[in-house]
Chains A and B, each alone.
Chain A
Amino acid sequence: MIAEYGQLALTFALCISLALAIVPLYGSFKGQQTALQLGNPLAYALFLLTAFSFWALSYAFWANDFTVVYVATNSNSLLPWYYRLTAVWGGHEGSMLLWLLTLSGWIAAVALFSRSLPLQFQGRILGVMGLVALGFYAFVLFMSNPFERSLPYFPVDGRDLNPLLQDFGMIIHPPMLYMGYVGFAVSFAFAIAALMGGKFDSTWARWARPWTLAAWLFLTLGIMLGSWWAYNELGWGGWWFWDPVENASFMPWLVGTALIHSLAVTEKRGTFKSWTVLLAIAAFSLSLLGAFLVRSGVLVSVHSFAADPSRGLYLLAFLLVVVGGSLLLYALRMNSVRSQARYELFSREVLLWGNNIFLLTATLVVLLGTLFPLVHKELGLGSISIGEPFFNQLFYYLVIPFALLLGLGPWVRWKQQQVKPLLKPMSLIAIATLILALGTLATLQSVQANLALLGLLLGAWVGSSAIFELLQRLQQFGSVKQGLTKLNASHFGMTLAHIGFAVLVIGVAMTKTYSVETQVRMKAGEQVELAGYQFRLVEVYPLDGPNYKGEAAELDVSYKGDYVTHLHAEKRFYTVQRSVMTEAAVHARLSRDLYVALGESLNDDSWALSLYVKPFVRWIWLGGLLMALGGLIALCDKRYRRRVGDQKETTELKDTTDA
């Protein structure tokens, strides 16, 4: 019965979303207070109903209710309880329910935290989000119902969760990712609501910014978790594949980053308005495009859910209505909005535009690489593939000017920056950069290290610039200590996020240049040397897991004779899905990862093993984590919690260098 209650709750939620889509919007246009005030209770009701529905599905998984088709397809009685629960989002229908839960969560959050917004504006925001929600609730209920039963027949046991998904990463990667994707619906709604009203003062930007930051930081975490998960689960030490589904999450991230920076300009200087609005529409549109690509079968991907053309059609129609509609509204309304500002060519405004240039070109590159094969084929020109070589090549060219600008940006003031005062700090940073980068390479005694050198230079440039700028800024308060308490959170967030980017760039460059691997055959007791490490295979023995069988290998690793660690690698055969999984053994340190994957058993009692030493690979995820943390800190800035009508509305006096 629980499943039926879950479906019932979902049906009620659909009706609520319909009301949410209509009532507050109507109230906003007719000036009806009661209609507007209904927005909040509707939002809370939507969330509660959806949460109940989600709980109902989770319960079905927990209780091994295989009469529910979705549970039977994605779970198994032998599956450990924590994977039974995460299997809720292991397939299309359940992940859509997660999408709904996240969406209703954000809607409720907007209702909760928007006391300082004018009611009419808030009503429109909730209304727009209600419209989006309506489309998705209808999609789930009519085309992807997770609660469908197969009664009167039902399987004795389920088909098990794909072993690839039976990993910690699966528990947390999709929820984080969805919080990000779906979170951009809030800034989207802010943009549409503002377009409806035709007013774009700078408070609009100030209100929109924390929501954008929040969505962005979740998306950053989600993408990083996905990369980390792939590294651990797929068995060959890769952390990014430019797979269409990965690209689908990367594009909103790139545009979201551009949006945060464009919002800064609109908030501080009241210009770039039309651009910011367009970016807000684009970020969520790319999220929707991503959902379409992943679930329609248009592209080939290891990640895609089972393809269904009818679902694809619905999603495309939905895309046309939401994105097409908003872009049309943009074209019709934005024209009447004029920005006014003066700024020199050497000013923060221009540098932030530079940031946008490269982020958006990167988005275009990813979009082209993902969709051009489809276009090429539909035009009858044949099938081509676009993958890693293409993306790496173009990103290599784009990251250089981008990082150079990033190092410069935080120093440059709004409106106008004189070059002379910057000469000293910039030279110091340049020197620090060269020392750090060349010094690291010198200890590596590396000759052929173009990529590593580039990464180190760019990373050191951005990182040392961020730190120096922060120190200088803190000192302006009298002393660094005084500054620590007085400088706003935004600034700390910015510095940390920029440092995070530097760390990421270094990680990518170093790991790409210096990773080494070897595939060997080993018998128990034998030893292989790689990059100064001795890997000794101690023994291989059979495994018997809850829903798998297989072999495990134990290895001892030493470095120049000194014991480093013990590694445990597995090769599992999941009996229900009949698939083989490699559980790689990873020994993680900031300086390098040791990575061992157990391969086939060979006919003379020896085993095939893949051994990897991957320097600096942790820096990649550390960088992402720092960026997300920076976003979180920036979110906590006092000015976002200031109520309307509070004194000290401005900031042009104090914050000529502020974020």
Chain B
Amino acid sequence: MKYFFFSLLLFTAAAQATQALTEFKSPEQRALFKELTHELRCPKCQNQNIADSNAVVAVDMRAKTLELVQQGQNKEQVLDYMKSRYGDFVHYQPPLNKFTLILWLLPALMVCGLIVLLLLRRRADRGAAATDPDDKTQSQPEQQLEQQLDQLIEQYRRKS
């Protein structure tokens, strides 16, 4: 089992160059090509990336991506190239602008909002449980009693 795991490292050095369908100058280029073909969307398909689609435009986009990557362009450049021809639609990561900011902002707000909601609700629940919601001092002896009760319960459970 261990030896299997060792060999996972070997993949980058694996001698497949003579038989690979496409040649890359470096494993980084190969990885970039794979990343790009998974992040670029086929503009004519029913929601597929260009790696998975066989539509003519997807094949053309793949060929072009290959060409640009082999020329040494980076991810930014290839994406810009594609977007300037096919629009933002063709990248599966939405652009970051003041309209799309909401995509990241709303979830963050939700987390904060739900935390606040918990604190408010806890106060309301606690208030409803006590006879006088605004009188905090009254809850003290109640709390002590509850703590004693909890301790008794704990002892009882340990014994049983």
Contact = CB atoms under 8 A, between A and B. Distances in A.
Given A236-B51, A384-B100, A592-B4, A522 B19 contact: yes
Nearest to A271: B125
A476 B129 contact: no
Contacts of A382: 87-88
B103 A368 contact: yes
B7 interface: yes
B9 interface: yes
Contact of A360 (B51, B110, B121): B110
Interface residues of B, number: 64
A445 B5 contact: yes
B5 A415 contact: no
A345 B115 CA distance: 11
A234 B52 contact: yes
A361 B8 contact: no
Contacts of B99: 376, 379, 381
Contact of A384 (B14, B88, B114): B88
B92 A343 contact: no
Contacts of A446: 8-9
A415 B121 CA distance: 14
A340 B111 contact: no
Interface string A234-246: 1010100101100
B129 A341 contact: yes
A529 B111 contact: no
B114 A360 contact: yes
A203 B74 CA distance: 61
B50 to A, nearest CB: 12
Interface stretch (A12-20, A117-125, A133-141, A299-307): A299-307
Contacts of B95: 384
A100 B99 CA distance: 41
Interface in B81-106: 87-95, 99-100, 102-104, 106
A561 B38 CA distance: 34
Contacts of B47: 241, 243-244, 300-302
A305 to B, nearest CB: 12
Nearest to B89: A383
B20 A518 contact: yes
Contact of A304 (B19, B39, B46): B46
Interface string B31-59: 00010001101000111110110000000
A384 B89 contact: yes
B114 to A, nearest CB: 4
B126 interface: yes
A394 B107 contact: yes
A31 interface: no
B63 interface: no
Contacts of A529: 14-16
A390 B94 contact: yes
A120 B94 CA distance: 51
Contacts of B46: 300-302, 304
A656 B10 CA distance: 52
A356 B117 CA distance: 12
B4 A364 contact: no
A372 interface: yes
A608 B110 contact: no
B103 A519 contact: no
B85 to A, nearest CB: 14
Most buried by B among A345, A384, A615: A384
Interface in A364-378: 364-365, 368-369, 372-373, 376
B10 to A, nearest CB: 6
Contact of B94 (A361, A385, A416, A531): A385
Interface in B102-146: 102-104, 106-107, 110-111, 114-115, 118, 121-122, 125-126, 128-129, 146
Interface in A471-524: 476-477, 514, 516-522
Contacts of A357: 110-111, 114-115, 118
Nearest to A477: B160
Interface in A390-422: 390, 394, 398, 415-416
Contacts of B90: 385
A385 B88 contact: yes
A544 interface: no
Interface string A440-481: 000111100000000000000000000000000000110000
B20 A591 contact: no
Contact of B8 (A356, A526, A531): A531
Nearest to A300: B47
Nearest to A609: B21
B111 A361 contact: yes
A361 B107 contact: yes
B15 A385 contact: no
A432 interface: no
Interface in B143-160: 146-147, 150, 153, 156-158, 160
A530 B52 contact: no
A643 interface: no
A531 B7 contact: yes
Given A388-B92, A394-B107, A520 B5 contact: no
A639 interface: no
Interface string A320-354: 00000000000000000011111101000010010
A653 interface: yes
A389 interface: yes
B21 A608 contact: yes
A243 B41 CA distance: 12
B25 interface: no
A168 interface: no
A54 B91 CA distance: 43
B107 A386 contact: no
30 contacts: A236-B52, A302-B45, A304-B46, A338-B128, A340-B125, A340-B128, A341-B125, A342-B146, A350-B122, A372-B94, A379-B99, A385-B41, A385-B89, A387-B39, A387-B41, A390-B94, A394-B107, A416-B146, A416-B150, A443-B5, A444-B9, A476-B157, A477-B160, A519-B21, A522-B19, A528-B16, A529-B14, A531-B7, A654-B157, A656-B150
Closest 4 CB pairs of A and B: A532-B7, A387-B92, A389-B93, A383-B89
Interface of A: 234, 236, 238, 241, 243-244, 271-272, 300-302, 304, 338-343, 345, 350, 353, 356-358, 360-361, 364-365, 368-369, 372-373, 376, 379, 381-390, 394, 398, 415-416, 443-446, 476-477, 514, 516-522, 526, 528-532, 559-560, 591-592, 608, 613, 615, 653-654, 656
